[in-house]
Structure 1
Amino acid sequence: MMNAQTGLSPRQKAAVIVRLLLDDDETGVKLEEFDSDRQTLLAEEMANMELIDRQTRDAVISEFCDSLEAVGVTFPGDLDGTLEILADRLSEDATDRLRRLVSMSGRGDPWSRITALPQDDIQTLADSEAVELVAVMLSKLSATQAAKTFSALDRERAQTVAQAMAMTRNIGPQALRRIGLVLAQAADALPHPAMEPAASNRMGDMLNFASSDLRDEVLDLLDREDAEFAVDVRRAIFTFAHIPERMEPRDVPRIVREVDQQVLIRALAQQSEKEAAAAAFILENLSQRMADGLREEVESLGKIRPREAEEAANEVVAAIRRLQTEEGLTLRLPEDDE
């Protein structure tokens, strides 16, 4: 159907608008968001057009702007876009159920679902699915996600996946979509515990701030009653004594800035061997002037009650955990995990 004012069909007018938008770098128009049929039609229409006079161009722009002003509200038109809008408004169970429905129906983009998965789920797929599927998945992930996932594969599997990457060059859109659907369904079938974090992590968090006597008693009990759980709890525990083993020396100044100086001085006044070693590690990784000043403060403090030193040490640990959660501070894994 031709428009009497411009003599252009709706597709031709769309081609004019897209051509104008492509000339403007600030619009950031992304034609890849259209499905392949629409992209093809648009390209064919643009290929058949030549010159458009200024009056026709202005009429098309005016009509386009009038259409935009007449729009009251827009909807995504697919479930993926709808879920993105609703985001945190839906429960996790409802979101998962809707994701499964869209996967089973074959609608929506399975790859947007896969790339948004938690890293643990992506890694599970990479460890368990056929290497050909894993190679395609790595090709669709962001560079950071792909690198992290690939690096965590065992050596033999990583080599096999690397060889399979060559097969991804000639995959067509339909095959790519089918592979995405298979992986999305596999992701939906992954078990997810109802309680987060894991019980061992929660137990470790609680024991971090328990007295050393209570912590040792609980760990001894767990060693006798459930040795496997005890191992996981020990890995989750992070105390003042673990600082030299788990912290990067370059991060020590960040911790010192985060803790009140009087608290830090009491924490450094440790008497037991492991805690004193942690205090020495902190001082060794500060500037000489700051370290000397803190040593003088500790000496002037004299001997303090073990309970005071332990409470101060717990505050230092709390600051480290806070930086780990909020600012991305990285702790090394315990030696038996490396």
Structure 2
Amino acid sequence: MTALDIAKTDIMSPDIGMSHNCFEPSKGVSDAVRIPSSPIPLSRKQKAAIIVRLLLAEGAVLSLQDLPEALQTELIHQISVMRYIDRATLKAVVDEFVSEIEDIGLAFPNGIEGALTVLDGAISPATAARVRKLAGVNLCGDPWETIAKLDPELLLSTLEEESVEISAVLLSKLKVSVAADLLGRLPGPRARKVAYAVSQTGSIAPDVVEKIGRSLADQLGTRPPKAFDDGPVERVGAILNASPAITRDDVLDGLDQDDTAFASAVRKAIFTFADIPGRIEPTDVPKITKDIDQALLVTALIAGTEALEPVVDFILGAMSKRLAEQIREEMSERGKVKAKDGEAAMAAIVAQIRELEALGEISLIEVEEED
């Protein structure tokens, strides 16, 4: 039975934090410190204080920090000046509260930011950013909750650009796993300075931390949205992954001439049929091939025997001996395949590997940095 049920049935529990003596004037409780059941009316603020006190006493978890600071202050004041209420008063307040709740059909968020939160994912990021900018919206609620949901790349750039002191506060308010990852990605000297500054944050007042959070949330919220989810390296790599080998090699050669660093990064982002032995664990080969049509696999392996025989040997060597022999026999029976068909078959296997990687079922071996 909930606190509201208890109050509505007029069964008062001492667990709500008020002594039974407070309901019995004969025990020495003065009427001057009680709110009588009649006939003095209660203000809405007093009623709110009663409801909050009852719910907290019953163990309810309330997000009162989302209220404006002025309302939180007023609530504290009301609770501090109220002393005791009798059962009839409590029941009347609860009845009124329940009645108002039951009459509510649908609740809408308060303000532009609340509306944007509800519509998150249903409207474009560009529209949301434009509405915030035009309305001059200040984020409500806990700004650090908003910051924690931001792209880690955006947080990393903030840690690199902001002062050491601000960066230390930001790092301290993030989840430990996220903070550790971001700290590890900072340049060594910068990481050491920020880590030391964290040790100096113990005396910062809560209101200062909140102001820093609001400032960062406003600042990060007004940054223009990205037109693309992935960076240029990932986008070019994905395009070249799906391109014929002759096109891929030609483009990479051109990139080497124009921008060697970018070309090197793109090469690392590319995963082709030829990369399978160096980036796939042998134990993952059965996962990759089980959902691939065997005729398609045979076509890819036949095409690979001419220039990519190590790849063919790697794939067949990671299979069971019986299955590998069966596939070799089928390859022998099929003979040569058209270059176009072979390229398409190898691309299909690469696409399967990428899909399994995206689902987290396999992991690609990281490419080691060249000296």
TM-score band, normalised by the shorter chain?
0.7 to 0.9
Contact 1:78 1:108 (8 Å CA) reproduced = no
* Cα pair distance change 1:300/1:57, threshold 3 Å: farther
2:9 equivalent in structure 1:
none
Contact 1:79 1:108 (8 Å CA) reproduced: no
Higher helix share: 1
1:131 is matched by which residue type in structure 2?
A: V
CA distance in 2, matches of 1:147, 1:328: 25
Return the letter of the residue paired with 1:16: I
Residues 86 and 212 of structure 1: CA distance in aligned 2, closer, same or farther (over 3 Å): same
The one-letter amino acid of 1:83's match is L
Asked whether the 8 Å contact 2:237–2:266 carries over to 1, the reply is yes
Structure-2 residue corresponding to 1:133 = 166
**Compared with structure 1, are the counterparts of its residues 220 and 38 closer, same or farther at alpha carbon in structure 2 (3 Å cutoff)?**
same
- Whether 2:122 is the aligned partner of 1:93: answer no
> 2: CA distance between counterparts of 1:136 and 1:23?
34
Q: Is the CA contact 1:265–1:294 (under 8 Å) kept in the aligned structure 2? A: no
1:305 equivalent to 2:336? Answer: yes
Question: What percent of counterpart residues are identical?
Answer: 35
Q: Which runs of 5+ in 1 are unaligned?
A: none
Which stretch of structure 1 is more off in the superposition, 78-87 or 52-61? 52-61
In 2, Cα distance between equivalents of 1:328 and 1:6: 68
Is 1:75 the counterpart of 2:104? The answer is: no
2:144 to 80, 90, 111: 111
Worse-matched range after superposition: 80-89 or 245-254:
245-254
- Does residue 22 (structure 1) correspond to residue 56 (structure 2)? The answer is yes
More moved, 38-47 vs 165-174: 38-47
- Which position in structure 2 is the counterpart of 1:202? 235
Give 1:54 deviation, angstroms. Answer: 3.9
Q: Alignment partner for residue 143 of structure 1, among 176, 189, 192?
A: 176
Contact 1:267–1:310 (CA under 8 A) maintained in structure 2: yes
Q: Name the larger-Rg structure.
A: 2
- The aligned runs of 1:133-212 (5 Å cut-off) are 133-184=166-217, 186-187=219-220, 194-212=227-245
Deviation per CA, 1:84-134, whole angstroms, max 9, x where unpaired? 1121333322212334456x6655354344323222111111222222111
Q: Provide closer, same or farther for how the CA distance between residues 21 and 320 of structure 1 changes in structure 2, counting only shifts above 3 A.
A: farther
Equivalent position to 2:47, from 6, 9, 13: 13
Cα 1:5/1:207, change in 2 over 3 Å: farther
Tell me which residue corresponds to 2:17: none
Structure 1 window deviating more from structure 2 (49-58 vs 143-152): it is 49-58
Give the partner amino acid of 1:299: R
Deviation at 1:252, TM superposition (A): 4.5
**1:136 maps to amino acid:** V
Q: Distance in 2 between matches of 1:2 and 1:278?
A: 87
Which string of whole-angstrom CA distances, capped at 9 and with x for unpartnered residues, describes residues 176-204 of structure 1? 23322443455357576545544443332
Contact kept, 8 Å, 1:100 with 1:185, in 2: the verdict is no
Alpha-carbon distance in 1 for matches of 2:166, 2:299: 55
Q: Measure the CA separation in 2 of the matches of 1:228 and 1:321.
A: 24
Q: What is the root-mean-square deviation in Å for CA atoms of aligned residues?
A: 3.6
Is 1:57 the counterpart of 2:84? The answer is no
Q: Which of 323-332 and 297-306 deviates more?
A: 323-332
Shift in alpha-carbon separation, 1:49–1:265, aligned structure 2, 3 A: farther
Q: Any gaps of 5 or more consecutive residues in structure 2?
A: 1-34
Deviations 1:24-69 (A, max 9, x none): 66x6432332344433443444455555444333322221121123
**Cα separation, partners in 2 of 1:319 and 1:107, compared to 1, 3 Å:** closer
Q: Any idea what SS the aligned residue of 1:335 has?
A: coil
Match of 2:326, as an amino acid?
A: E
- AA of the residue aligned to 2:50: V
2:265 corresponds in structure 1 to 232
Contact 1:125–1:186 (CA under 8 A) maintained in structure 2: no
**Amino acid in the other structure paired with 2:324:** R
> Whole-Å Cα distance in 1 between the matches of residues 261 and 219 of structure 2?
28
Q: Which amino acid is 1:108 matched to?
A: C
